[in-house]
Each structure stands twice: as C-alpha cells, then as structure tokens.
Amino acid sequence: MTRLSHDRVRRIAVIGTGVIGMSWTAYFLSRGLEVVATDPAPGGSDRLKDFIDQAWPTLERLGLGTGADKTRWRFVATPEAAVEGAEFVQENAPEREDLKRELFGRIDKLLPPDIVIASSASGLLMTPLQQGLAHPERCILAHPFNPPHIVPLVEVSGGELTAPDTLAWAVKFYEAIGKVAIRLNREMPGHVASRLQGALWQEAVSLVEQGVVSVEDADKALAYGPGLRFAVFGAHMTFHLAGGQAGFAHFLKHLGPSQERRWGTLGRPKLTPEVQQKLIDGVNREAAGRSITALEAERDACLVEVIEALRRARQR
C-alpha cells in the first residue's frame, strides 16, 4: 500500500464539531489545509463559523501556515459526505465506545485503505474501536490537549491491529503541521499527559481533603511552582538540573530516597459527595465571580504569551 506523503495532505474530514472538533478545524485551516466538517447537532455550522472567527486572531498571532484561509471549509450533513475525497480524518464524536465503533464502521467502508482515521478520544482505547473493520491497520488515537488550536501536544497511539507504519506516518503528519507529537509504545488508559495531570490533581485533592491547604492555595502551588518549570522542561529534565553539575545521577543518589519516602505518603482520596462539595466551593471562591467565558479567555491569552515567550527564548 502506498500512502500519500504526510506533507502532501490537503483535505481533512473533521467528524464531530464540539469543543475539540471546532478547535481542530480552526487549527487545520491555520496550517493551510481544507476542512470538510460534520456534526449532527442543530446549528453546528453557525457555531463552527463563530468559533473560527473568534480563534483566528490568536492563530494569526501564533503564526499562520502557507495558504491559511479561515473560509476554506464547508459543513455537510453526514460523515459519509465529509469523508468523500478526504486525505485524513480527525474524529471527535462523544466518548461512547458504541457510538465511535458504529461511526468507524461507516467511514471505514467508504475510504481507501491508505487514508488514516484518527480519533481524538481521551478516555477510550483504539483496540475495541477497530474490531470488525475492513482496514483496522489505519486507525489510531490522536489525543490533543485542550484547546487544540493553541496547545501543541498530540498523543498518538494505536490498537492491537494498528500498523506501525501508520503511527510513524501520523507522527510525521502532526509534526509537519506544527504539533508536538508523542508516540505511545503501547495502549494506556488516559494516554500519558492526562495520567500525569491526574496524578498531580490526585495529590492536590488529597491535600485539600486533609485540610492541609485550600483549593486556591493548592492551585497556586502548582501554577507558580512546578507549573512554571514544567512549561520549560518535563520532570526528568527538571530533576536533571536539580542534581547540579553531576546531573540526574547525582539527584537520584542523593534525593531519590527522599522522593521514595514522599511517594509512600501520597494520598488516595475518594471523590465523596463531601469532598466534591469542598472542591466546588473552593473553585467558586477562586473564580471570584468570573464566568467560564472570562476564564477561558484568560487561559488562552496566558497560554499564547507562554508559547511566544518560549519561542523567543529558544531562538536566542
């Protein structure tokens, strides 16, 4: 099978235009690609247009690709119409295995076997989704971090029947359009980034549950401590620097035992109704009356500033 080169893809089918699908659509357009989108919800086309218009100034600021055009998309009624002539598929349907399996079955029958079908699923695995398909080898998970049109990360993984060359091609495709792609060596529930994020949140919940700290102060500790360092390097490289001139080996030798002791004291909280209410009350106090829309705008503005600052620093 000869697959179209990863850097020659021009038409994308976006299946499902909820929050993630709309963000993917705007991003693909910003990289000079054409998008054909579909979603069964009423008013989907109008919502998608509004989102693209709102996101475009941010995408312009981050840098548009050659041929970028925010009008180079159309909305169709069915997945079958969306995938006609598509050279890549980004599926973003709700996180229901039965729904995604049915959807994959419909489009797998129509697409040539060399066209990759990628799912944005965050809580599902590919192996169950690709069962019974004529061409399961071209099916992958490609999980973005929200919002995909701003955050660079995409996690690429396959199922038991996914061909290794499909994964390699997908990583190259996402990298070619400006994403930071990582490839999982095997399937894992929650993939990688969400598990790392979940581990941090688990301990934050535990500290709040035990009365060690408030919700607001737990968030401050993450945002103004590890969060700042993790925006530059991940945990291993951060601790490599913590070892001084001798690096990570010195860190493990001298601080590894204390890290192990700390791991032994990490909490395993349960999200009981009481704990949930404590977290909700704390988040509401932290939000201080700001709407979700206002918080999203603040988040996105700060993310863009951080991305731009890192680019400048690394170009010196």
pLDDT per residue, tens digit, the chain (316 aa), is 688 999 999 999 999 999 999 999 999 999 999 999 999 999 999 999 999 999 999 999 999 999 999 999 999 999 999 999 999 999 999 999 999 999 999 999 999 999 999 999 999 999 999 999 999 999 999 999 999 999 999 999 999 999 999 999 999 999 999 999 999 999 999 999 999 999 999 999 999 999 999 999 999 999 999 999 999 999 999 999 999 999 999 999 999 999 999 999 999 999 999 999 999 999 999 999 999 999 999 999 999 999 999 999 998 7
Tell me if the pTM is above 0.95.
no
Per-residue model confidence (pLDDT) at position 1: 65
Taking a C-beta distance cutoff of 8 angstroms, is the pair 182, 156 a contact?
Answer: yes
What is the rounded CA–CA span in Å between residue 175 and residue 153?
A: 10
Taking a C-beta distance cutoff of 8 angstroms, is the pair 33, 71 a contact?
Answer: no
Residue 57: count other Cβ atoms within 10 Å of its Cβ.
10
Burial of 246 (0-12, 13-18, 19+ CB in 10 A): exposed
Q: Which amino acid is at 221?
A: A
Residue 166's nearest CA partner among 156, 176, 180 is 156
Per-residue model confidence (pLDDT) at position 36: 98
Structural domains of the chain in order of their starting residue, each with its CATH number:
6-183 (3.40.50.720), 193-315 (1.10.1040.10)
Per-residue model confidence (pLDDT) at position 307: 96
Per-residue model confidence (pLDDT) at position 2: 81
